Amino acid sequence: MNKTKEKSIAAIDQEIIWHPYTQMKTAGLPIAVKSAKDAVLFTEDGEEFIDAISSWWVTLHGHSNPYLAQKIFEQLQTLDHVIFAGFTHPAAVTLGQRLLTHLPSNQSRLFFTDNGSTAIEVGLKMAIQYFQNIGKPRGKIVALEDAYHGDTFGAMSVGGSQFFQGPFGDYLFSVSTIPTPVKGREEEAVNALKKILEEEEVAVFIFEPLVQGAGGMQMYSPEVLDQLIGMCQEKGVLCLADEVMTGFGRTGKFFASDYLENQPDILAFSKGLTGGTLPMAITSCTDEIFQAFYSTDKTKTLYHGHSYTGNPVGCAAALASLDLLEETETWDKIANIARLHEAFSPKIADHPMVKEVRQRGTILAIELQTSEGSSYFSGIRDQLNSFFIKENVLLRPLGNIVYILPPYCITEEQLDRVYEVIELAIQEIYETA
């Protein structure tokens, strides 16, 4: 009989794995999750965690959803993968047709990639090459301050975090930024954009519509975004909506762009696309953009692709997720989460530690007062995080911003527990400050 004690998954992990966004020296043992069901994660130590952030904002209908699993299984038995250049398959075509019924009505073509960052790269390439293909090259890109669009070089260039860009700053292309038009800064943003548009030939304006995710769940109104898009489109500037986080119901509508009058020219989406089961992303665009690439001239081709582009299993997962997303019951759940957030907001807003409570649909963000101001690296982040882990709730504060972005299957009871744990954490920090 083998008497040596088996090493835990977490311990083996610590010897061989390099985790994302993690300082491996100080991180401590990761939590090994052996299974998950609906909004609950089950660890190797027999603990249960409520997943209040949809596991990096991907899970829509809950973990290990049997319907999604069945559809993925069926697809795997029929067609696992096929090169997407020169070949196609039914799942991609059906998915394209169905997504177009949900996308803003000016969208007509879909380009597949495999994560949010690459969807952004493709959107930027579409915009830059569009102007070259029509013989009127434009150089400038405009982005919002505090934006986050991913970790590849193009996506980093249009992102706002100097800290993440750190060692790579010299390798990024130049971008003009305007203030995020949060309440009170709308005019500043409009004026900054106006100035740039007067002085430069702008190719593309990129933004996270209504909610900036990693930049601290900052929120702004559809009205001001409409104004910014309108100003751009008047000058022929292409507008790229990064719906990677906001897509698929998170903001209370199918896409955040559905709150707008002015339709973006390009949309990038991922995360919720497959309901949180498989990595896939899509960049969609208008027919006008597509026509600039449609040519017998080979140099006008969009030379971009990935091994798993249009993967049939990812497409089947996305189709299954759409089936569920098209059910009225899902939208009732989305509305109910929004209603519960609304009821909770005033309860926490008055706490002396709370600077602001913001909400858009199923996303609730609570910004805490700190002596250092708002920062991803705020000292209370680790304190909050440890508290949440101790209380078995998965919340991953963005610095001094605690947010909830739950899977739509979360129960009222689970959400109440999440609210309770947040209140307790804030009170503890307040008392120990």
Whole-angstrom distance, CA of residue 387 vs CA of residue 425: 6
Interface map 232-251 toward ligand PLP (x if CB under 6 A): ----------x-xx------
Identity of the amino acid at 386: S
Which residues, including other chains, have CB under 8 Å from residue 68's CB and lie 6 or more apart?
A: 61, 275, 277, 317, 320, 321, 324
Question: CB neighbours (10 Å) of residue 342?
Answer: 11
| Residue 367 near residue 358 (C-beta atoms within 8 A) | yes
120 interacts with ligand PLP by CB under 6 A: yes
| Residue 271 near residue 103 (C-beta atoms within 8 A) | no
**Given 7, 21, 183, 195, the catalytic residue:** 21
Whole-angstrom distance, CA of residue 361 vs CA of residue 342: 9
- Report in angstroms how near the CB of residue 272 gets to ligand PLP at its nearest: 11
54 interacts with ligand PLP by CB under 6 A: no
387 interacts with ligand PLP by CB under 6 A: no
Using the minimum distance from each CB to ligand PLP, give the nearer residue, 117 or 251.
117
**Is 242 a catalytic site residue?**
yes
Evaluated on CA atoms 111, 117, 122, 127, the torsion sign reads: positive
Kind and range of the H or E run holding 363: strand 363-368
Using the minimum distance from each CB to ligand PLP, give the nearer residue, 20 or 66.
20
Using the minimum distance from each CB to ligand PLP, give the nearer residue, 186 or 242.
242
Identity of the amino acid at 286: T
- Report in angstroms how near the CB of residue 409 gets to ligand PLP at its nearest: 21
**Is 271 a catalytic site residue?**
yes
| Residue 49 near residue 393 (C-beta atoms within 8 A) | yes
Using the minimum distance from each CB to ligand PLP, give the nearer residue, 53 or 410.
53
Give the footprint of ligand PLP on residues 258-297 (CB under 6 A): 270
Among 126, 214, 278, 324, which residue sits at the site for ligand PLP (rule: CB under 6 A)? Answer: 214
Whole-angstrom distance, CA of residue 62 vs CA of residue 54: 8
Q: Which stretch binds ligand PLP (CB under 6 A): 114-122, 297-305, 354-362, 413-421?
A: 114-122
115 interacts with ligand PLP by CB under 6 A: yes
- Report in angstroms how near the CB of residue 243 gets to ligand PLP at its nearest: 8
* Interface contacts to ligand PLP, rule CB under 6 A: 115-117, 120, 148-150, 208, 213-214, 242, 244-245, 270
**Catalytic residue positions, numbered:** 21, 148, 242, 271
